[in-house]
């Protein structure tokens, strides 16, 4: 019999970045966040985070790069996250394990 932890890990490992984005977007909207995602990026500066989430009532803005379990951050993505954080912004990376563990829900609640 597979333990719940192992089952969650298997689901997280199989989740694509697109599936993660869909799940995060649905969750964020259900919790009252506005979600911005660039769907077509030719000509834009490389590395900008996948999602910008804004909650007007909580007066919060969150920048998140989404990566599959084995996905790697590019140098440009690391630079944007570093600079946003240095400027006092909430910028980080979310992976499927964060969704499965409830970390993303907690951060957005």
Q: What CATH architecture does domain 4-38+46-108 belong to?
A: 3-Layer(aba) Sandwich (3.40)
Q: Tens digit of pLDDT for each residue in 69-79?
A: 999 999 999 99
Q: Tens digit of pLDDT for each residue in 14-28?
A: 899 999 999 999 999
List the helix and strand counts (H, then E) for the chain: 5, 4
Share of the chain above pLDDT 70, in %: 97
According to the model, what pLDDT value does residue 6 have?
84
Contacts of 25 (CB under 8 A, 6+ apart): 35, 37, 51
What is the rounded radius of gyration, in angstroms, for the C-alpha atoms of the chain? 14
How far apart CA 103 and CA 90 sit, in angstroms, is 15
Chain mean pLDDT for the chain: 94
Question: Where in the chain are the domains?
Answer: 4-38+46-108
Share of the chain above pLDDT 90, in %: 80
- pTM over cut 0.85: yes
């Amino acid at each position: 019999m597979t333990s719940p932890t192992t089952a969650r890990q298997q689901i997280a490992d199989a989740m694509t970045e697109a599936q993660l984005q869909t799940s995060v977007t649905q969750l964020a909207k259900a919790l009252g966040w506005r979600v911005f995602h660039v769907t077509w990026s030719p000509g834009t500066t490389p590395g900008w985070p996948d999602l910008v989430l804004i909650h007007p009532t909580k007066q919060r803005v969150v920048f998140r790069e989404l990566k599959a379990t084995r996905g790697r951050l590019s140098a440009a993505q690391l630079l944007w996250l570093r600079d946003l954080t240095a400027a006092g912004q909430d910028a980080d990376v979310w992976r499927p394990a964060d969704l499965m563990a409830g970390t993303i829900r907690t951060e957005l609640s």
